[in-house]
A and B are shown apart, each in its own frame.
Chain A
Amino acid sequence: MVAEPHIQTTAKSFLTQQEKDAINHEVSLLPYKKAAVIEALKIVQQHRRWVSDDAVAAIAAYLDMSTAEVDSVATFYNLIFRKPVGRHIILLCDSISCYVMGYQKLYEAIQHELKIKFGETTKDKKFTLLPNACLGCCDHAPALMIDEDLYRDIEAEDVRNILETYT
């Protein structure tokens, strides 16, 4: 007996009913299924925190697309995570106004506190640190976001206190 390839089995059973309902709703607003792929990636990421190869295959099967096509979209957008991330995501703005105002000092302070560089996750899986293009609050630079929270006008000395509020 030949086993069904791994990808196909997971594709059928991977998405939960809740995820499928949310994707169906998006599809209903659009002229064709494929157009919902970004929304589908967002939905899966919301439930699972990141988008695995199995998730890409499942979305592809669900929307009648090839996995390569889904992955080409998934890897284009920097806030679709194709690798596991920590419980909290730190987005440090490294664009021009924050550069002038010294975001580099914040980066040093975060590295010192968490022992991670851009693109890395702490050993306890608590934080992932990512560089981020302009957060749109340049009059309060330097700025960073942790999950949904925006922090503005921060000094290197504030970093520890901010990080301590996350569990």
Chain B
Amino acid sequence: MIYERPLTQHIHINRQPLNLKEYEAKGGYAAVRKAVKEMTPQEVQKAVQDSNLKGRGGAGFNTGIKWSFVPMGSDAPHPKYLICNADEMEPGTFKDRLLLEGNPHQLLEGMILAAYAIQADISYVFLRWAYKKAAALIKQSIAEAYAAGYLGQNILNSGWSLDMHLHTGVGRYMCGEETALLNALEGKRATPRAKPPFPQVSGLFGKPSIVNNVETLCCIPHIINNGADWFKKLSFTEDAGTKLYGVSGKVKRPGVWELPMGTTMRELLEEHAGGMRNGLMMRGVLPGGASTDFLTPAHLDTRLDYQSVAIAGSRLGTGTMIVMDDATCPVGFVHNLQHFFAQESCGWCTPCREGLPWVEKILLSLEHGEGTQADIDMLQMHTQLLGPGNTFCALAPGAMEPLQSALKYFMEDFERHAHEKGCPYVHEAVASSEW
């Protein structure tokens, strides 16, 4: 069965993305025309809310409802800001890159619609530095959109004006957390902010702001063109739309595919990714990036939507999964993740700043044969100490998700490291933090 894939229909690997004229010829910017001519901002908000689009950046909050907290009307503070979160740094995540490089005008159209819905004056694409090709394309596309009158003063004679800028970052995973991103845009260290006040009310430079993920924004033109019901019907389950699912690790065909929301993990791994490479078995999967709990082969029939993955004990997160095969050491795997999180901790709060390096060291000592049963207990304790509610932002609890589930599913591996005084797996070269 062939399913619709609105977000990637015009994306062809190895071909240049559509320029503005070509994009218009395929129906591009029709949604902007429709919205600014026929719809009020509130109607755009309502359409998105009714579509049940949930944020694709990881947290999965209803996008239309998120927008509805922005003050509207003549006494609302200005300028208001609309920011596209294109920081994509969650290890194992590579879906936004496809949308950015494959169809930049689709993203711009989504941003213009979102900005119209909240009556924003200024918009930013916050792009991670590594996406050089995307940076050039976005810059070019913004210039084209200005020239065509979709950006700038008095857009399509509506009386509404919007400016758009590209901001490229200078590293750090934390820039992807939405309040830390606002600090980075203000020229500060990317540490998160206390909420409330929420960014919708007091965000960038203290003004009302919305931060949305690339994939979230790319859904908007299609919702405006085709309606909320159409969007809901794209999905197999309650959570609406399609989803960009990715698979990396030792599968036959790693990649990223746009599929109906709620596609099963089995279909994704076996049909699209082609199953495991010869001679290997799957032991575990991080279903939505580095900061999600492991699922196991027992969960293969789980539907990949927000609710079903939560019931299975993990999170859909970014929808890009990392497969752990049976020749890869779970302790080494988790150590690599904790090394990343320890390094990327912004240092703002104590449990995360002090706890993560501690966790990383314990895992490394287990790998080196210096760990004991007491160390495993210590790891267990840290999953509580760094868990939800004890830290300022979601980085540390996110880091604990793969650790706590590894301790649950792969405890025998941890114990073997302690009892056999070393790693029972073959390592082809030195581990990541021996430098």
Complex Cα distance, B322 from A73, in Å, reads 33
Does A35 touch B at the CB level, under 8 Å? yes
Residues of A within 8 A of B92 (CB): 95-97, 134, 138
Distance of B259 from chain A, by nearest CB (Å)? 15
Does A41 touch B at the CB level, under 8 Å? yes
Residues of B within 8 A of A76 (CB): 172, 189-190, 346
Residues of B within 8 A of A72 (CB): 189
| Partner-binding segment picked from B34-42, B180-188, B415-423 | B180-188
Distance of A81 from chain B, by nearest CB (Å)? 10
Does B370 touch A at the CB level, under 8 Å? no
Name the contact of A34 in the complex, choosing from B187, B332, B337 (C-beta under 8 A). B187
Contact indicator A136/B188 (Cβ below 8 Å): no
Contact indicator A136/B187 (Cβ below 8 Å): no
A interface footprint on B424-435 (CB within 8 Å = 1, 0 otherwise): 000111111001
> A105 and B428 in contact (CB under 8 A), knowing A95-B290, A134-B93?
yes
B interface footprint on A70-89 (CB within 8 Å = 1, 0 otherwise): 00110011111000000000
Complex Cα distance, B73 from A154, in Å, reads 55
Contact indicator B89/A134 (Cβ below 8 Å): yes
Contact indicator A108/B187 (Cβ below 8 Å): no
Contact indicator A101/B249 (Cβ below 8 Å): yes
B interface footprint on A15-44 (CB within 8 Å = 1, 0 otherwise): 000000000000001110011111101100
Residues of A within 8 A of B324 (CB): 100
Which of A73, A77, A108, A137 has the most C-beta atoms of chain B within 10 angstroms of its own C-beta?
Answer: A77
Distance of A121 from chain B, by nearest CB (Å)? 15
Q: Which residue of B lies closest to A40 (CB)?
A: B187
Name the contact of B94 in the complex, choosing from A91, A101, A108, A138 (C-beta under 8 A). A138
Complex Cα distance, B93 from A88, in Å, reads 26
Does A127 touch B at the CB level, under 8 Å? no
B interface footprint on A129-167 (CB within 8 Å = 1, 0 otherwise): 001111111111100010010100000000000000000
Q: Which residue of A lies closest to B163 (CB)?
A: A29
Contact indicator B170/A102 (Cβ below 8 Å): no
Contact indicator B130/A100 (Cβ below 8 Å): no
Complex Cα distance, B185 from A36, in Å, reads 9
Contact indicator A133/B89 (Cβ below 8 Å): yes
> A105 and B246 in contact (CB under 8 A), knowing A96-B337, A100-B328, A138-B93?
no
> A101 and B250 in contact (CB under 8 A), knowing A72-B189, A95-B340, A96-B337?
yes
Distance of B292 from chain A, by nearest CB (Å)? 12
Does B248 touch A at the CB level, under 8 Å? yes
Name the contact of B336 in the complex, choosing from A94, A108, A145 (C-beta under 8 A). A94
Chain A interface mostly helix, strand, loop or mixed? Answer: mixed
Complex Cα distance, B333 from A102, in Å, reads 12
Residues of A within 8 A of B247 (CB): 139
Contact indicator B187/A79 (Cβ below 8 Å): no
Distance of B11 from chain A, by nearest CB (Å)? 15
Q: Which residue of A lies closest to B323 (CB)?
A: A100
Chain B interface mostly helix, strand, loop or mixed? Answer: loop
Q: Which residue of A lies closest to B339 (CB)?
A: A94
Complex Cα distance, B190 from A31, in Å, reads 19
**Interface residue ranges of B85-101 to A (CB < 8 Å):** 88-94, 96-97
Complex Cα distance, B138 from A88, in Å, reads 25
> A137 and B340 in contact (CB under 8 A), knowing A37-B187, A94-B432, A104-B432?
no
> A96 and B189 in contact (CB under 8 A), knowing A80-B170, A102-B429?
no
Q: Which residue of B lies closest to A103 (CB)?
A: B432
Does B344 touch A at the CB level, under 8 Å? yes
Distance of B165 from chain A, by nearest CB (Å)? 7
Chain A interface size, as a band, is: 35 or more
Distance of A1 from chain B, by nearest CB (Å)? 38
Contact indicator A136/B94 (Cβ below 8 Å): yes
Complex Cα distance, B325 from A102, in Å, reads 13
Contact indicator A100/B250 (Cβ below 8 Å): yes
Contact indicator A134/B170 (Cβ below 8 Å): no
Does B320 touch A at the CB level, under 8 Å? yes
Contact indicator B430/A104 (Cβ below 8 Å): yes
Contact indicator B343/A133 (Cβ below 8 Å): yes
Name the contact of A139 in the complex, choosing from B94, B188, B339 (C-beta under 8 A). B94
> A79 and B97 in contact (CB under 8 A), knowing A35-B187, A97-B91, A104-B432?
no
Contact indicator B130/A136 (Cβ below 8 Å): yes
Complex Cα distance, B171 from A79, in Å, reads 6
Contact indicator A138/B429 (Cβ below 8 Å): no
**Interface residue ranges of B314-358 to A (CB < 8 Å):** 320, 322-325, 328, 332-333, 336-337, 339-340, 343-344, 346
Name the contact of A135 in the complex, choosing from B130, B184, B249 (C-beta under 8 A). B130
Residues of A within 8 A of B130 (CB): 91, 132, 135-136, 145, 150
Does B255 touch A at the CB level, under 8 Å? yes
Does A118 touch B at the CB level, under 8 Å? yes
Can you list 20 A-B contacts (CB < 8 A)? A72-B189, A76-B172, A76-B346, A77-B170, A100-B249, A100-B325, A104-B431, A117-B435, A131-B432, A133-B91, A133-B173, A133-B343, A134-B93, A136-B97, A136-B128, A136-B130, A138-B91, A138-B246, A148-B132, A150-B130
Known: A77-B169, A133-B340. 16 other contacts (CB 8 A): A35-B187, A37-B187, A38-B187, A73-B188, A73-B189, A77-B190, A91-B130, A96-B91, A100-B249, A105-B428, A131-B435, A136-B93, A136-B94, A137-B94, A139-B256, A141-B248
Top 6 A-B pairs ranked by shortest CB distance? A104-B429, A138-B248, A139-B254, A95-B91, A78-B171, A77-B170
